[in-house]
Amino acid sequence: MILRAALAFGVLAGPGLGQDFSQVGALFIDRCVICHSGDDAPLGLRLDTLESVLRGSENGPVVLAGDAASPLLQRLRGEAEPQMPLDGPPFLAPDEVAMVEGWVMAGMPAGDVTLAAAPERKRPAPGEPVLWSDVEPIFLKGCIKCHSDNSKLGAPPEGLRLDSLAAVLQGGDRLAVLPGNPEMSEVWRRITGLSDPRMPFDGPPWLPDEDIRLIHDWIAQGAPDADGKLAPIPVGARIRLRGTLTAEAEIDGAAFLVDGSTRIDDRPAIGDAAEMRGTVLADGTVKAERVRDR
Ligand code: HEC
Ligand code: HEC
């Protein structure tokens, strides 16, 4: 933040700008390592230390001394898509890009590297509270390259953006998360493969079991924000559930309400493939408007 403020006021402008890694590294920690860190860093590219930046990704080096066409610079300028940082806009300011370019053109000198360590991601143990901040990196690293406005697909599929808590709770054409009810939540169903196609769409690899559990527990605990405040019940939101009828009014363990106004076509038997379309009631239960055999 200090660095960005300094850049905004032009304090750092002048010779030597960005010609050592301490400034570049601070920028990467500010804008990149929420995704580019840890064992699940995208394409194996970690940007939290000078060594890892120089090591590059599973595709090879991303910065080449003196090469203005280095893959990392192309991503910052938007010449290779998706543009980085992936959770932009905002992308980097022109003087921030110039600083990284200056460092690459100068041969990537280490300088006096005294970076604050990138925050290590902790995963709450089973039974512990799971907050948005615990699951946010899973969505950022694994989902938003498609599910955001910076999507490599052009537009987010099914209108579903997953780049902020508000977007996840809002859902797309349909609801994606029903707070308190993971079995009824399309996000959880897609990452486990209960709904087709399984997510992430370009998998395998699928999410690690530990991340699937975290998303399950986060939804089950009411999808709290980073401060623990529970998500509101999305009263009236539309739900579509396609799976196996596991009880008279239950698909894959997700129970719903059927009453006289529910339209039932080709009444499915338990064990059959079925589809339910319904809406969320004030208490968080789902009222089926239509159930049919598939
Ligand atoms: C919100 C998560 C996120 C943030 C923040 C982010 N990235 Fe990325 N980055 C990704 C993902 C996901 C990919 C893989 C995209 C793909 O599969 O095409 C990627 C790919 C890349 C690549 C391509 C590597 C290769 O082998 O081609 C580079 C370089 C890169 N990012 C640099 C950066 C830099 C520099 C920043 C910060 C200025 C940054 N990224 C911020 C998620 C992120
Ligand atoms: C490579 C691109 C890509 C990635 C990565 C990806 N998705 Fe998707 N997602 C899609 C596409 C395409 C669809 C539409 C598929 C269909 O139903 O035909 C989709 C559909 C969905 C849906 C269903 C939306 C609805 O209303 O039916 C959910 C939920 C979803 N994705 C969640 C996720 C989650 C969670 C992640 C990360 C773990 C993820 N996706 C990663 C491309 C992607």
Q: Which tens digit of pLDDT belongs to each residue from 243-263?
A: 999 999 999 999 999 999 999
Pick the ligand that lies closest to the CA of residue 193.
Answer: 2
Nearest residue by C-alpha to atom 33 in ligand 2: 199
The pLDDT of residue 39 is: 86
Q: Are 291 and 271 in contact (CB under 8 A)?
A: no
CA distance 66 to 197: 43
Q: Are 185 and 93 in contact (CB under 8 A)?
A: no
Q: What angle do CA 49, 51, 55 make, to 5 degrees?
A: 120
Ligand 1 contact, 162 CB (< 6 A): no
Blockwise average pLDDT, block size 10, the chain, 294 residues: 41 52 92 91 94 96 97 96 92 96 94 69 91 95 92 88 97 95 97 96 94 98 98 96 95 96 93 96 97 93
The pLDDT of residue 152 is: 76
The pLDDT of residue 165 is: 98
Q: Which tokens belong to 33?
A: 């390592």
Q: Who's near 291: CB < 8 A, 6+ residues apart?
A: 249, 258, 262, 263, 264, 265, 267, 268, 274, 275, 276
Ligand 2 contact, 251 CB (< 6 A): no
Ligand 1 contact, 45 CB (< 6 A): yes
Ligand 1 contact, 41 CB (< 6 A): no
pLDDT digits (tens, 9 = 90+) for 61-89: 999 999 999 999 999 999 998 999 999 88
When computed from its CA atoms, the radius of gyration of the chain, rounded to whole angstroms, is: 23
Q: What angle do CA 59, 65, 68 make, to 5 degrees?
A: 85
CA of 86 to the centre of ligand 1 (A): 6
Pick the ligand that lies closest to the CA of residue 202.
Answer: 2
The pLDDT of residue 40 is: 87
Ligand 1 contact, 104 CB (< 6 A): no
The pLDDT of residue 146 is: 94
Pick the ligand that lies closest to the CA of residue 26.
Answer: 1
The pLDDT of residue 204 is: 94
Ligand 2 contact, 82 CB (< 6 A): no
The pLDDT of residue 151 is: 82
Buried-state track 224-246, b at ≥16 Cβ within 10 A, e below 16 = beeeeeebebbeebebebbbbbb
Q: Are 53 and 142 in contact (CB under 8 A)?
A: no
The pLDDT of residue 154 is: 82
Ligand 1 contact, 61 CB (< 6 A): no
Q: Count the neighbouring beta carbons within 10 Å of the beta carbon of residue 124.
A: 15
Nearest residue by C-alpha to atom 33 in ligand 1: 84
Ligand 2 contact, 182 CB (< 6 A): no
